[in-house]
Amino acid sequence: MATLTFTPEEYEGLKKKDRLLGKAMEKLPLYEREVDENLFRSLMNNIVGQQISMKAAETVWKRFLAHFGEITPEKIHAASLEEIQALGISMRKATYIRKTTEKIHEHIVDLEALWQMADQEVADTLVTLNGIGPWTAEMIMIFSMGRKDIMSYGDLAIRRGLMLLYGHEEITKELFRDYQKKFSPYGTLASLYLWEISTGKYDLSDL
């Protein structure tokens, strides 16, 4: 599986955008993140894992993979709701899986066309699929498509990272947009560091 990679120029570019984040970047580790470039499989994985613990999501996803083997629109489209539910998936999520698969199988949404679209157009297209909201769309854009300028306001950990780093009591949408603009075009790299900061494991008092 591919990994999300950044060039030395991108690291340096982000450091120059903001002194405080730049100093934090020098202290923090940045772990390798896998990218699943199979968009349909990524969509299924994201729907399966919604609103359950990471451990539970991994268990159910392994069951899903074992049952279907290669995850394709044709295979999932041929499955009944009952067959999907039997894997430990709720009726609501099984319905999302069926309806999303139907749109892709019938070419109402062309996943391959997404690769040629601008970020906002990709997000707008993904949220037309059942079970895919703005946050899920943005995570797919990072961890499936490898888009480099994504910061999700819907991600609580990113907002918490901003609060810890900059001492804010809250992050409004307006303030978040300011940070998005400041860190662009390195929003995804900033997100990775903010996720790490959000864990609270690091002493940032000397920055």
Given a cut of 90, whether residue 205 has pLDDT beyond it is: no
Per CATH, the number for 38-143 is: 1.10.340.30
Taking only the tens place, the pLDDT of each residue in 55-87 is 999 999 999 999 999 999 999 999 999 999 999
Instruction: Indicate if the pLDDT at residue 26 is higher than 80.
Output: yes
42 closest CA partner among 122, 117, 120, 106: 122
Residue type (1 letter), 173:
K
- Residues 176-197 have pLDDT tens digits of 999 999 999 999 999 999 999 9
Model pTM above 0.75 = yes
**Residue with the two structure tokens 């994985």:** 45
Average pLDDT of span 107-136 = 97
> pLDDT by residue (tens digit) across 126-161?
999 999 999 999 999 999 999 999 999 999 999 999
Band of residue 19 on the pLDDT scale cut at 50, 70, 90: very high
pLDDT band of 42, cuts 50, 70, 90: very high
At 32 the pLDDT is 81
What CATH number does the domain located at 2-34+150-198 have?
A: 1.10.1670.40
Hey, is 56 helix, strand or coil?
helix
> Where along the chain do its domains lie?
2-34+150-198, 38-143
The whole-number pLDDT of residue 126 equals 98
Contact between 100 and 43 under an 8 Å Cβ cutoff? The reply is: yes
Q: Is 1 a residue whose pLDDT tops 80?
A: no
Structure tokens at 199: 């864990």
pLDDT for 76 equals 98
Sequence-ordered strand ranges (E) for the chain: 2-3, 34-35
